[in-house]
């Protein structure tokens, strides 16, 4: 039960996209779809046209961190999110390597533990998706696994 995990929650999958459009091309993360109009994204990785990014979103867009990696089409990437409830952060591993990200709104804010929206909003869903403004995009996922580390 992801709403009552005590320590760390992990989500990992292999992901590839068929194209790179202007919107969210491939999405993997934890969310709560019962909040707000579109749900709250508590810990998420997006494949976007301008790079692979980590971000959270509540009633408005939260912090977004760019990894400095432009996704290639038809290339498999292994994504692993490790959420730390106590710290209120999550780390992202891309092909087994811990990544750092630069805040897209503040270039001096570089980190490898990204803020979660976990304090008052429990995780209730795993979000997996493709495209939002370029609906021809196809995303493929394989070996999707979620588990708690206590």
What DSSP element (H or E) covers 80? strand 77-84
Query: What pLDDT does 1 receive?
Result: 46
Query: What pLDDT does 7 receive?
Result: 76
Query: What pLDDT does 121 receive?
Result: 63
DSSP state of 75: -
According to DSSP, the residues that pair with 97 across neighbouring strands are 94
How crowded is residue 83: how many other Cβ atoms within 10 Å of its Cβ? 26
**Rounded average pLDDT per 10-residue block, the chain, 150 residues:** 67 86 74 73 82 76 84 90 89 96 89 78 77 66 90
| 17 contacts 47 by C-beta, under 8 angstroms | yes
Q: How far is CA 131 from CA 42, 85, 111, in A?
A: 19, 29, 27
Closest C-alpha to 87, from 110, 59, 119? 119
Q: Give residue 16's Cα distance to chain centre.
A: 14
Query: What pLDDT does 135 receive?
Result: 56
Find all residues with CB under 8 Å of 37, minimum gap 6, and list them. Answer: none
User: How far apart, in whole angstroms, are the C-alpha atoms of residue 81 and residue 10?
Assistant: 6
């Amino acid at each position: 039960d992801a709403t009552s995990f005590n320590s760390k929650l992990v989500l990992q999958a292999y992901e590839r996209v068929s194209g790179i459009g202007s919107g969210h091309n491939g999405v993997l993360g934890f969310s709560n779809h019962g909040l707000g109009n579109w749900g709250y994204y508590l810990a998420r990785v997006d494949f976007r046209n301008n790079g692979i990014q980590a971000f959270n979103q509540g009633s408005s867009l939260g912090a977004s961190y760019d990894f400095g990696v432009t996704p290639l089409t038809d290339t498999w990437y292994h994504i692993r999110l490790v959420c730390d409830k106590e710290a209120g952060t999550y780390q992202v591993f891309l092909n087994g390597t811990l990544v750092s990200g630069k805040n897209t709104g503040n270039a001096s804010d570089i980190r490898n533990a990204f803020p979660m929206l976990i304090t008052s909003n429990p995780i209730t869903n795993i979000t997996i998706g493709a495209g939002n403004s370029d609906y021809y995009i196809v995303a493929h996922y394989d070996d999707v696994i979620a588990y708690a580390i206590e």
